[in-house]
Chain A
Amino acid sequence: MTDTVDAVIDVEDVTKRYGRVLALDGVTMTVPRGSIFGFLGPNGAGKTTLIRILMGFIRMTSGRATVLGHDAWTDGVRARERIGYLVTADGLYPDLSGYDQLDYAARISGRPPVWRDRILDALELDDVALRRTLGTYSKGMRQKLALTAAAQHRPELLILDEPTDGLDPLIQRSFEELLHHFRDEGTTVFMSSHDLGEVERTCDRVAVVRAGAIIAVGEMDALKERYSQRVEVMFEHGIPDGIDEVAGVTVVHRDGQVVEMNLEHDINPLLAFLAGHPVKRMEVRPPELQEVFMSFYERRNGLTNANGRRS
């Protein structure tokens, strides 16, 4: 059992099959209240499938999923009273004006759009644009409107599937700041993305999904610490023999006196090795999310995922 005390999303051993295709394979994870949780994976990994299950659009084949304490399928209406969900930009009514679309979304949400103005300001969606019908909008403008419609009623949980798709970089940064403000005001954000930079800038916690299974989950910093750091060492008298046999070290580049290594887990064996060789300069750099992510995807053989399954 996972800890449900302060979890807004609690997913346990969720599997989803479409005929012979296994879209989700025993996914287990929790999203703590007050976090910005990134759900990271390439296209087709199962991110959207899990979101559809959480929203009650589709039924899981087996397992259990609760959102805000309510079963996602059987009691989803009560959960959705407190959720804001980002529909795809194409899922807006093209015959409505921007204002009409937002009003309609607010009306069927049953809650007043108290955050509308601040979101529109942050996303720079102006009055003139909002009076036009959506048929005249660019993809980016429709995405801004969809984001506003999702969050305008101050939801307790915001579920966003690829939220910044189609936004220009400046607006993307404004939106990321907005998410931090929402989090600070008590809203939990669960967002899927394949944009590693966005997740790294925005999220506190992250789950990495591959082929329908969670292969890593945890706080962003802890996740990075668990995986390889990049270490660059310049030796006084050339690169000594045996460095690539040090526990946890993988040499990735050699150039004269300089060696570049990936270091997994404990740094002490490396420090012990270096103690016997004069070092001119040493730099330890924490990994970027991209490196962590790629390490998951490159190590296909023998990897055990977060659910205890071999993938």
Chain B
Amino acid sequence: MVAAMLTRLLRQGLAGTLFLLAGVLLFQFVYPFIADSMGGASGLENLVSQLPPAMQALAQLSPEFLAMTGIAGFISRAYDHPVYLILSIAAMVAFTGRAIAGEVGSGTLALSLSRPISRWSIFAARIAGVAVLAAVFGIAGPVATWLGLQAAQPAGEVTLSQLVAMALLGALFLWTVGGLALMMSAVSSSTGRVVGWATGYLVVAYFVDVFAELWSILEPARPLSLFWYFDTTDTMVDGRVPTMSILVFGGVGLLAMVLGWLEFRRRDFVV
């Protein structure tokens, strides 16, 4: 029954999810072509050196950074690029918003609640959905990057282990986003409200992380931002996910799921 519910959940809004997935694939596929068009790692280094320091900070690129990290460092920037983040986060938040709050709002949750299915099984199907989507979107980016690298052949090297690490980091990050959004969904009766809450938190967290580079007063708040632990450069360059990222993403995601479950199991569903 969990499998049947999971399939149903994934089929809902499938067109939108595929559209977002196509966007992620296209964006990550194109990025190696951008690197190639700028002359690979050395060309990028020269180009970035022409930018004023504030622009370099905003772009999170500097000549020194590119000199140290090469093409892998440049490619890693595609994973904390707002386009990639918006596309993949939108898929997670839309799914989790629909999965509980949306079903409460429309009344379709009554179909599952009225069958011989425990509340845990109903919630577990939602957790499984988050895990599947996080895995799909986490893997999709690096697959597209690899295809782009094969097609564009930019100067410099990116290894398979670097892309695997990037896939793992992406999946862990999206698992956490999904967990937080699922927790919000468990206490809400409207998809729109979940999207609003999740977007609000993530936008604030993103700006805290980005602007802390420019404005030191934000520096103490940086560890509160999920994006602080989404260290795409270290992951891509070292070819492994930082331990802190694994602990924070795994822990926060799990904690959010547990809190969501505690609410879901006791909640009155007026459906």
Contact = CB atoms under 8 A, between A and B. Distances in A.
Interface of A: 52, 55-59, 77-78, 80-81, 83, 85, 87-88, 90-93, 95, 104-105, 107-110, 149
* Top 8 closest pairs, chain A to chain B, by CB: A91-B107, A85-B114, A58-B268, A81-B116, A80-B116, A87-B110, A108-B115, A57-B269
B39 to A, nearest CB: 48
Given A77-B118, A81-B116, A57 B271 contact: yes
B34 interface: no
B49 interface: no
A55 B114 contact: yes
Given A91-B111, A104-B8, A57 B117 contact: no
Given A107-B1, A107-B4, A87 B106 contact: no
Contact of B115 (A57, A58, A80): A80
Interface size range on B against A: 20 to 34
A57 B115 CA distance: 11
A90 B107 contact: yes
B268 A59 contact: yes
Contacts of A81: 116
Interface in B250-271: 266, 268-271
A69 B116 CA distance: 15
B4 A57 contact: no
A88 B268 contact: no
Given A52-B270, A77-B116, A105 B107 contact: no
Nearest to B108: A91
Contacts of A78: 116
B116 A57 contact: no
Contacts of B269: 52, 57-58
B110 A57 contact: yes
B110 A91 contact: yes
B75 to A, nearest CB: 38
Contacts of A80: 114-117
Which of A58, A92, A108, A110 gathers most chain B CB within 10 Å? A108
A58 B269 CA distance: 6
Contacts of A105: 111, 115
Contact of B1 (A88, A92, A110, A149): A110
Given A57-B270, A58-B268, A87-B107, A93 B114 contact: no
A83 B113 CA distance: 12
Nearest to A146: B111
A109 B114 CA distance: 9
A59 B266 contact: yes
B118 A57 contact: no
B271 A95 contact: no
12 contacts: A52-B268, A52-B271, A57-B114, A57-B269, A57-B270, A57-B271, A80-B116, A87-B107, A87-B271, A88-B110, A91-B109, A109-B116
